[in-house]
Structure 1
Amino acid sequence: MSQIELREPTVDLHQSFMQSTAEWNGVDQDGASMFFADKYGWDLADPAHFALWVQLLKDLATPDFTPLPGFVLQSTLWVVENEQYLGAVSLRHELGNDYLKEVGGHIGYGIRPSARRRGLAKLALAGSLEQARALGMPKVMITCNDSNIGSAKTIESCGGVLESIKPRSVVGPLFGCPDDVRRYWITLD
């Protein structure tokens, strides 16, 4: 029987995470915060570096941890089914830089290509919204590329209200966005 859950990152899923990485064809996995490994020069294929990165993801959720300059505290959950990594969602605790305020938002998520179209993105987003509520956040901003219809539907199904669509001509030169960016807000009860 299939068991899908949201859980903290763990070194136990190293091999499965690397299999997921291969499915993304060289693109960082949305929501997984792999850019932190790049910042520290860690190769996630190396189990020791993977362990350092997993610990950093856990530390970033701790209120007394100081992230690198330009970054913010965040909580990360992994979508796991029968000990297989399927995706990630990260909740940034604040919009602490211009990128997050304009196009990054509070929440980023991604599901590995072989696991899509099963409602897992909605599960991940809903779990992240519960974390935001627990942190006392009154509302969160979530964004997606205008062409990503699946992500837009996921956000809307979780209560997202479209605020605006930022044109690529504006956000591309500033933040390297390849598409127009849809900006949604979800008010938390």
Structure 2
Amino acid sequence: MALTLVEPSVELYGAWWEAHEEWGPGLHEDGFGLAATDEVESPDGFAAWVERVKAEDSTCRWIVEDGRVQGGIALRHRLNDVTGHIGYGVRPSARGRGLATWALGAMLDEARALGLRRVLLVCLEGNEGSARTIERNGGVLEEVRGDVCRYWIELPAAGEPGVPAEKGADG
């Protein structure tokens, strides 16, 4: 399995569209930064959306495995108290394989490199898969607001206790 995080690209339109179609109408695709006003059906609309996402004050990556877009993850450089610092989503057929856990771990390294010392992640109450993903990456439940669980992940600087100075091939 060749698993990578890649910057959004018009070259991956077909692979992205396949993932988008799998989510189906009316379902959200966290991590892609797709807004209701984005038109992604035409090549020009898709290209405009990709450029908009790349221009935002965030780091957006697509989870790509063997040329297939399996999901997306976005790190907001500033705290959004409603949606948190990081949002992610994995297409239904790729769930349960640890892709979100892997992608979140990689994005936490990006957050640390930006100088963030802790990040907020949120998920709906009852979304056990997302809660486990966050907890596996060190998330601690702060509170539940309505039906939204709020988790914080502490990010000590490289070399501080809890952060290896260098990661090996397994992670």
How much does 1:17 deviate?
1.1
TM-score of the superposed pair, with normalisation by structure 1: 0.79
Map Cα deviations across residues 128-180 of structure 1 (whole Å, 9 max, x no partner). Answer: 1111111101110000001100100000000001100112xxxxxxxxxxxx1
How much does 1:121 deviate?
0.5
**Contact 2:39-2:49 at 8 Å conserved across structures:** no
Counterpart of 2:28, as a letter, is D
Map Cα deviations across residues 108-139 of structure 1 (whole Å, 9 max, x no partner). Answer: 00000111111000111112111111110111
How much does 1:52 deviate?
1.4
Note if 1:8 corresponds to 2:7. yes
> Which of residues 64, 72, 82 is equivalent to 1:80?
64
Aligned to 1:91: 75
> Which of residues 101, 108, 115 is equivalent to 1:136?
115
How much does 1:74 deviate?
1.1
**Contact 1:21-1:28 at 8 Å conserved across structures:** no
Distance 1:52 1:127 in 2: 27
Distance 1:28 1:185 in 2: 23
Map Cα deviations across residues 67-94 of structure 1 (whole Å, 9 max, x no partner). Answer: xxxxxx1110110011111100001111
Residue segments in structure 2 that go unaligned for 5+ positions in a row:
157-171
Note if 1:147 corresponds to 2:126. yes
Distance 1:121 1:111 in 2: 7
Q: Secondary structure at the match of 2:24?
A: coil
> Which of residues 33, 47, 53 is equivalent to 1:51?
47
The alignment covers a number of residue pairs equal to 155
Counterpart of 2:149, as a letter, is R
Distance 1:3 1:94 in 2: 31
How much does 1:28 deviate?
2.8
Distance 1:12 1:87 in 2: 16
Aligned to 1:30: 30
Q: What's the Cα RMSD here?
A: 1.1
* Aligned-pair identity (%): 44
Runs of 4+ in 1 over 4 A off after TM superposition: none
Counterpart of 2:47, as a letter, is A
Residue segments in structure 1 that go unaligned for 5+ positions in a row:
61-72, 168-179
Counterpart of 1:143, as a letter, is V
Counterpart of 1:182, as a letter, is C
TM-score of the superposed pair, with normalisation by structure 2: 0.87
Distance 2:89 2:46 in 1: 19
